[in-house]
Every structure is written in C-alpha cells, then in structure tokens.
Structure 1
Amino acid sequence: MMSSSKASKKFELGTARILNTEDLETSQSKWLGLKTINWVDEEGKERKWECTERKKSHSSPDQIDAVAVFTLVSRPNRPLQVILVLQYRPPLGKVVVELPAGLVDGKEAVEATALRELYEETGYGKGKDGGMATVEDVNTLMACNPGMTNETMALVTVRVKLESDNIPEPQPDEGYAVDARLMHLACGLSLNVDE
C-alpha cells in the first residue's frame, strides 16, 4: 500500500514499528497528563479514579479539543462516497481505519479545524481536483472515552463536490503517513487493511 506525503516522499503504510515503551512523567509530556480524581459516589462513598487528561491549548472546559470529519464526496457519474484514512497509531502498534481527525489549535473554530484536517490528511477541500468543501453539520462536545480521558470532540459533517475523478494528494504534517480512501456508502464501511 503505497502513498505519498507533502514532500513527495514515498512510504509503505504498515512498516512503522514500536522500538520501545517507557514510563513518562506528566511534567515531561506535551499532550497528556495522568491524574487521580478523588470523588464521592451517589451513596456518599469516597472513591478514586485514574484517568488521562488532555493538556489543552485553551482554558475553557466547554471548548472542544478535537474534531473527527465525516466527509460525503460526490463525483461525476459515481455514487456518494465517504473518506476514511488509514494510519499507524503507536498506542495500538497497528494501522487503524479512522475518519480524518485532529486537534483544535488554540481558539480556532471547530469548522476551520475540520476543513484544515480534511485537507492535510486527504488533499480534499481546497478547490479544483480536491473539490470544494462545505461544512453541513457540527455535533459538539462528544466524549471520546469518558472512562479514561477528559478529551472532547466534535463530529463535523462535510460535503465535498468534485468536478472530476482525480484523487488529490494528502498534505500531512511531517511525521504523519496517511492513506486516504474513498468508500462507497452502498458497500458499507468494511475495509481490509491488509489488502
């Protein structure tokens, strides 16, 4: 499965690997912290809960941390498609199938984050062969894994209208190897990563 990045470097998705794993002190981490929450349950009993905490670029507890982008793609003479991305995720040590997604930068609007991440991870949405992208809906303040982290996410629905069948190149940040796939809705969303 060959793909290319912004610098036109070729990579083979699935060749990344874990070298080692080591403990990390919260004070040394850039993105996450480990916390113990002392709380009282519904019966008045004091309890402890361990969780990870997203180190936020904002101070508001109601501001969204990340977005996932559900993208509907229409092309001439083709059925409606959705975009999925494949990328290696070190915490799992595997290539995973995801929606395009990413963190909100500071006070950036959720819609702007969604369009930025869509373009970076897939190449779609900035005109001509990448089509024009329109935000159709924003479902805000979703908890990603509320038993483990305080991170919040918005699911943003975007529609991309293409005038041709050309496939744009992803524009990922350095260090990200992303393979974007168009999937027909009629086929369901099953995808064999080992193909």
Structure 2
Amino acid sequence: MGQVGMRLCVELQGLGVPIVGVERDPQAATARPARTLGIPVVDGHGGDLHVLERLRPGHARASAAVGSDDLGNVAVALAAHGVAPHIGVVLRAGEDDAIAETRSLLPVGVVRDITGLAAGHVVARLCAEPVGDVVAHRDEIRLRDTSGVWRRSALAGHDRCAHVEGPRRTPGDEIGPPRTRTI
C-alpha cells in the first residue's frame, strides 16, 4: 500500500471505483488507516500468484503496482499480467532500466515521467514563472502559464542531460540544445 498506494486507493474509492489494496507488512503505517477508511486490504505480496488468484484479477478493471521499489513493481506487474493478461497494469517505475526491462517482458503502452513533470513545475515556480498546468508531450515537458500559453519546460529531457553522459542527440531532433537554468 505505501503512501502512493494509499492515495491511489482513496482517490479511486472517492470516484466510486471498487478497490482492494495489497500490503505485505500487516503492521505497515498505511494498513490500519486504509482499513479505517473502508479500503479492503489483503495481507501478502502483490507478486505472489496465490495472493493474486485470491483477488480474482480476472474481474478487475486494472492492477496497479505502485510501491517504492521499481523492480518489485515490475515483479508485481509481471505476476498480474501472468494471472490476468487482459487487464491493464499501472506501473510505478522511476528508473529507465526498470522501464526498459519491463518493455522487454510486457507490452507497455503509455509511459509518463512523473518525476519530470513535478520537476518542471517546481523549477518554473522557483524561477517565479507563472505556471498552471504541466503535461508530458512526446518526449518533453510542456508548461501552460496562467494566461493559457503552452511552452517547453526549461528542463532537459533524460535523453539530453549533459551531466549524465554528455549531450545525446537523435536524428530529427527539432528541439535543439536545451535551455537550462541554474538554481
């Protein structure tokens, strides 16, 4: 369940979507509050096939693997896909290696860099730029200012970060050199 799982369950519950949380540690900080809020919580590991079969995932709309351990989430996603390959899987995976590994094992649809989205918003706010919305558009982060105008984020995408492995460019890269700011 963790913090992200708890928040996800609360939001889905508020939307009227039936949910069941899975928590491997019955003494976890979020297990008792979840139950208090009426969220059913099953004790066990989401990657355990016996736990998943008890949850009857064939009747689910989707499965979400949103723990803090990327590779643990990949294991949960693989297990869920193995038990019910027809349902969608929402996967929290912050590292490129975990996403690449998952792509090699499962059909991956849309990938969103939540950290990049949050960073784009934070950097704009720290630079006193008016920003309302932040979205991922293709391989870049776009910001909409308070007057409704969309623009590219000043942050370099992962594929253009000079501090990681030097600047990398791909053919047809129409964006040009990233605009960066020192904070």
TM range (shorter): under 0.3
| Higher helix proportion (structure 1 or 2) | 2
TM-score, reference length from structure 1: 0.20
| Higher strand proportion (structure 1 or 2) | 1
Q: Which has the higher contact order (CA 8 A, sep 6+)?
A: 1
